[in-house]
Amino acid sequence: MTKQEKVEFVINTLKDLYPEIPVPLDHTDRYTLLIAVLLSAQCTDVRVNQITPLLFAKADNPYDMVKLSIEEIKEIIRPCGLSPMKSKGIYGLSKIIIEKHNGEVPNTYEHLEELPAVGHKTASVVMSQGFGFPAFPVDTHIHRLMYRWNLTNGKNVVQTEKDAKRIFPKDIWNDLHLQIIWYGREYSPARGWDLEKDIITKTIGRATVLKDYYTKNKKALK
């Protein structure tokens, strides 16, 4: 299979598996999306979706959020982990959105990444899912799968994002990054991985990854 054939195989397989693509994080607008994505750092989307209704019942916009203290925010979001940093970030970015952006989430990478606790990945998700701007946010699932599929060298997420944007058509980035996330969770997880169910890796996977998988599983069966 050529590189291009592998890319087309990935696109077509994911399209067949996920013709309708659910958005992992529950939100009602760009602000609640931004907060949900911020909370998802080192936390599962399931947990975030359990916590955000509690937070948004008190404050689902920057004006109400700054009426809460950082300590109050911290107590609510504690189950998501990293609550001291995240609570300061949520309070701080809400203040900046009010003061500099008239209460609206900004629509550029530059302004989003100036906000406290907002990195490139968070900004990319907001640009993609909030504004419909072509973006390819790379999370741990995408980073892992792109390496397993031999579509990147896997050295860091910056390189993985560059490689993804280079090989996949721009007009499908927004759908594709979500499809890869769902596929990674359901068919190609980091733990409890069953290669027999992972049709993409089994078909186009990096030779060293496949060899390592079979070696480990042979040992486990002995």
Active site amino acids: 121, 139
Between the alpha carbon of residue 194 and those of residues 185, 189, 197, 218, 219, the distances in Å are 12, 8, 6, 13, 15
Cβ neighbourhood burial of 175 (10 Å; 0-12, 13-18, 19+): middle
Burial (0-12, 13-18, 19+ Cβ within 10 Å), 11:
middle
Q: How far apart, in Å, are the Cα atoms of 101 and each of 28, 69, 98, 132?
A: 19, 21, 6, 19
